[in-house]
Structure 1
Amino acid sequence: MFSRFVFGLGLLSATALVHPALAADARALQIFVSKDKQSLTVYDGEEVIATSKVSTGKPGHTTPSGIFSVIEKQKYHESNLYSAAPMPYMQRLTWSGIALHESNSVPRYPASHGCVRMPGAFAKQLYKMTGMGVPVVITDAEIRPEQITHPTLFRPEMPEPAPLLSDVVLRPAIGDQPIQVAMNEISMPRLQPQSIIDPVNDEPVRILITRRSQRDDIIDLQDNLASLGFEVGKADGLLGPATVQAIGDFKAQHPLDPASNKSLVSDALFEAVAAAAGKGKPANGVLLVRRGFRPVMQATVTIDDPALALGTHFFTAYNVDTDSGSADWLGVTLANPLTSKTMKRLGISRLESSIISGTPIEDALSRISIPEDTRRKIGEMLVTGSTVTISDTGIGTETGEGTDFITVTRG
């Protein structure tokens, strides 16, 4: 942890700095920007280690709220959008042009074209403190991370060692001769030297838990229809003519409840096709993992009571100890209002869990069931600084090549 010596005037101070050399593990850093307070706060775990005033986007150029991370750093950068305006100590948050950077004009009210402006001395110091991928949470109203304990959150596990001679059969020797290894030299390739445990990768993982998209559901539907002998064309998640015909042919053979035939596809159709194909009830959630700005894993999860919104929640792991299998987690809930159109698309009819009141984080975590093999794989990758985002709205358009998961709650 950082030293608790903060040149502290509190969260409302103009600038409070801590020297980055005091860092014990920079992966535990988080940056929170409050648009109503026009302030930036740096946390190391639960501890505030630096604060500053900022200026966010003015009307017409509002800084988006949401969950971001630093995806590029440049000591000197010029704007590609606004007449090559200088942006020293730039830390990019999106490829569409949002960043943290130094400015000579930080009046502590919204004044930028969308970026987060910081005073010069603070911008330089923050640049030294952060690494690539440090989370940046921008909110309309000020929030702060709080310790969360819940069985759904992940715990570290030791990676399973690679097997040695796993395909070799031992046979007893004759008489007093030592035991020998029986090998077929023709079919058995020569064993190459290899490490028992893969080299340690201490880069944090980024985990997104969200609802499966309709395209995911349709791909499963196409795969299941194809396994039943229906011609669906390519399993691409699109309702093309072949897939539409296959759905009609299936319904003719397996009549559904009349209420389920009001639309071409429905939950009842997905379940009926899956059952006919010998599959269980289709999963309604997905867990995605990125590391080093690249996707590394995907798995299905189950979300209980899917008509109720999950809300948007963000968690960061710190004090991760593989030897003891323990980790501390910090969490926040972000306001994320959904339009009626988005709710209809996602099959959401109730929003109360996304309101910041009661225990929305615990409620959301308790509704998510993660398979044990998925938990184990993530546990093997878990290190300090790893994060989990829970969101109803899926992968945002800002998420792409060279980014972590970006969740925009107000843009």
Structure 2
Amino acid sequence: MVSRFALTASVVVVLFSPAAGFAGSSAPLQIIVSKNQQSLVVYDGDAVIATSAVSTGKAGHSTPTGIFSILEKRRQHKSNIYSNAPMPFMQRLTWSGIALHGSNHVPAYPASHGCVRLPSKFAASLFKMTSRGMHVLITDHQVSPTEVSSAMLFQRQPAPGDNPAPLSDVPLRPAISQAENGPVEVAMTETSSIPSTVAEESREPIRMLITRRGERDIRRDVQSALNQLGYVAGAADGHIGPDTTAAINAFQTAEGLAVDGKLTPELTDAIFKKVGRDTPANGVILVRQGFKPIFEGDVIIDGPEQALGTHFLQFHEVDGEKGEGKWYGVSLENHLPSGTKKRLGISTDADPSAFNATQRTLGRLTVSDEVRKRIGSLLADGSSLSISDMESGLETGDGTDFITITRASPRG
């Protein structure tokens, strides 16, 4: 159990490079904030690097829990919500206003308006060792990363001299905040939009999210398939509007089916069969790099009536030449509302405290060799994998990694 930590930890922090988060020879770090303990711990794999006391959000302004990453850093910043209150060494976690920052008032209890307050000296030291994209987990109870072994976890693969074989023409599923703004791009065409040689040289960490494929996701795929067949279904946004209804009617007419404009499972299967695709799997893996969507692939979830739970894993490269690495992970509490469970067909809750909870969830997932090779060619030191029953939500968008909220802050 981790207790509130002495501020002398800041002396440890300054021994490390400011670029440690993504440095090629330095292992990637991650930050875990415990609301119950009012503590912050910096980890290198499963080793504690630094600790500090913190003060999180008070009643009515509770700090959200979940999986975040540092989106922006500013040495001097003032709140645009709370009377220009100073927020030195600000490290933004969401564009909606949650951040780590220094303060001269860090009591032994929650006192902020939602941000995570750090002692001023520690905030300055932490600012030097972090970089944009470094992961920050905020939890109710203290959790510690441990090494995770599973055949499901990805390992690096040398990128071939030529571009990798194309994935199937699955439409790229953008964040909800992006989907309304324009047409959806195609994940891969006959010539890869991301040459393997470029990916090999850049080695910027990728971010992955495995989640369930919901009804809206399937509707997006149907719209893309109808557009591919020449029926104008409009933007692949998952909303069945007039254009999509007209495209469904046209397809039903052309195929000699009853024309009612309704998208049933049988009609969905017929549309995918016509375009030469299998019905999408019940899960999906989404991949981002540099805060931008790259591609997605199918995932088969065994026992879909059981909740996946919420898990976070980070890749640490141990031998760059051989491409060998270790994964360190944690399981987070995420109590799904009953309505959400009903919508997702979940009848059994996940237990994050169960022995090998992360390994058990990984054992229920299957990813095709094609997708595994694609990910293996992009995998780099510090890459991460999040697993959740629900997609990351509205906080994930332009200029973010996958943000997974496990408990939202109440609106004050």
1:325 aligns with: 323
1:299 aligns with: 297
User: Which of the pair has more CA radius of gyration?
Assistant: 1
Could you tell me how far 1:235 is from its partner in structure 2? 5.3
Structure 2 unaligned blocks of 5 or more: 23-27, 164-194
Q: For 1:34-66, what per-residue CA distance to the aligned partner results, in whole angstroms no more than 9, with x for missing partners?
A: 000000000011110111110000000000000
Q: For 1:219-251, what per-residue CA distance to the aligned partner results, in whole angstroms no more than 9, with x for missing partners?
A: 32345556778x563253322245446657849
2:336 aligns with: 338
Could you tell me how far 1:154 is from its partner in structure 2? 0.7
Query: Separation in 1 of the partners of 2:224 and 2:124?
Result: 53
Q: Give the 3 Å change call, closer, same or farther, for CA 55–374 of structure 1 in structure 2.
A: same
Q: For 1:246-288, what per-residue CA distance to the aligned partner results, in whole angstroms no more than 9, with x for missing partners?
A: 6578499669xxxxx9x95554553354346543232222211
1:12 equivalenced with 2:4 (yes/no): yes
Could you tell me how far 1:406 is from its partner in structure 2? 0.6
Q: Check conservation: 1:11, 1:51, Cα contact below 8 A.
A: no
Q: Check conservation: 1:30, 1:44, Cα contact below 8 A.
A: yes
SS at match of 1:76: coil
2:278 aligns with: 280
1:127 aligns with: 127
TM-score (norm 1): 0.80
Q: Check conservation: 1:70, 1:92, Cα contact below 8 A.
A: yes
**Identity across the alignment (%):** 46
Q: How does 1:312-391 map to 2 (within 5 A)?
A: 312-345=310-343, 347-391=344-388
SS at match of 2:218: helix
Q: How does 1:18-167 map to 2 (within 5 A)?
A: 18-23=12-17, 25-27=20-22, 28-162=28-162
Q: Give the 3 Å change call, closer, same or farther, for CA 39–357 of structure 1 in structure 2.
A: same
Query: Separation in 1 of the partners of 2:286 and 2:122?
Result: 35
Which amino acid letter does the alignment assign opposite residue 296 of structure 1?
A: I
SS at match of 2:84: coil
SS at match of 1:87: coil
SS at match of 1:287: strand
SS at match of 2:201: coil
Structure 1 stretch 347-356 or stretch 55-64: which is displaced more?
Answer: 347-356
Q: Check conservation: 1:78, 1:87, Cα contact below 8 A.
A: yes
Query: Separation in 2 of the partners of 1:162 and 1:69?
Result: 33
Q: For 1:62-114, what per-residue CA distance to the aligned partner results, in whole angstroms no more than 9, with x for missing partners?
A: 00000001111111110011000000111110111100011111112010000
Which amino acid letter does the alignment assign opposite residue 30 of structure 1?
A: Q
SS at match of 1:111: coil
Q: Check conservation: 1:156, 1:322, Cα contact below 8 A.
A: no
Query: Separation in 2 of the partners of 1:112 and 1:141?
Result: 19
Q: Give the 3 Å change call, closer, same or farther, for CA 82–272 of structure 1 in structure 2.
A: same
Could you tell me how far 1:356 is from its partner in structure 2? 2.9
Q: Give the 3 Å change call, closer, same or farther, for CA 115–223 of structure 1 in structure 2.
A: closer
Q: Give the 3 Å change call, closer, same or farther, for CA 145–67 of structure 1 in structure 2.
A: same
Q: How does 1:156-305 map to 2 (within 5 A)?
A: 156-162=156-162, 197-198=197-198, 200-224=201-225, 233-234=233-234, 236=236, 237-241=238-242, 243-244=244-245, 250=252, 265=263, 267-275=265-273, 278-305=276-303
Q: Check conservation: 1:271, 1:282, Cα contact below 8 A.
A: no
Query: Separation in 2 of the partners of 1:403 and 1:321?
Result: 29
Could you tell me how far 1:374 is from its partner in structure 2? 1.5
Q: For 1:190-244, what per-residue CA distance to the aligned partner results, in whole angstroms no more than 9, with x for missing partners?
A: xxxxx99447213211111112232221132345556778x56325332224544
SS at match of 1:219: helix
Q: Check conservation: 1:64, 1:409, Cα contact below 8 A.
A: yes
2:181 aligns with: none
Structure 1 unaligned blocks of 5 or more: 1-8, 164-194, 256-260
CA RMSD of aligned residues (A): 2.9
Which amino acid letter does the alignment assign opposite residue 141 of structure 2?
A: A
Q: Give the 3 Å change call, closer, same or farther, for CA 52–157 of structure 1 in structure 2.
A: same
Which amino acid letter does the alignment assign opposite residue 84 of structure 2?
A: A
SS at match of 1:220: helix
SS at match of 1:400: coil
Q: Give the 3 Å change call, closer, same or farther, for CA 218–38 of structure 1 in structure 2.
A: same
Query: Separation in 2 of the partners of 1:228 and 1:294?
Result: 28
2:188 aligns with: none
Q: Check conservation: 1:157, 1:322, Cα contact below 8 A.
A: no
SS at match of 1:200: helix
Which amino acid letter does the alignment assign opposite residue 374 of structure 2?
A: K
Query: Separation in 2 of the partners of 1:10 and 1:73?
Result: 27
Q: For 1:99-141, what per-residue CA distance to the aligned partner results, in whole angstroms no more than 9, with x for missing partners?
A: 0011111112010000000111111111111111110000011
SS at match of 2:221: helix
Q: Check conservation: 1:309, 1:348, Cα contact below 8 A.
A: no
SS at match of 1:270: helix
Query: Separation in 1 of the partners of 2:50 and 2:144?
Result: 13
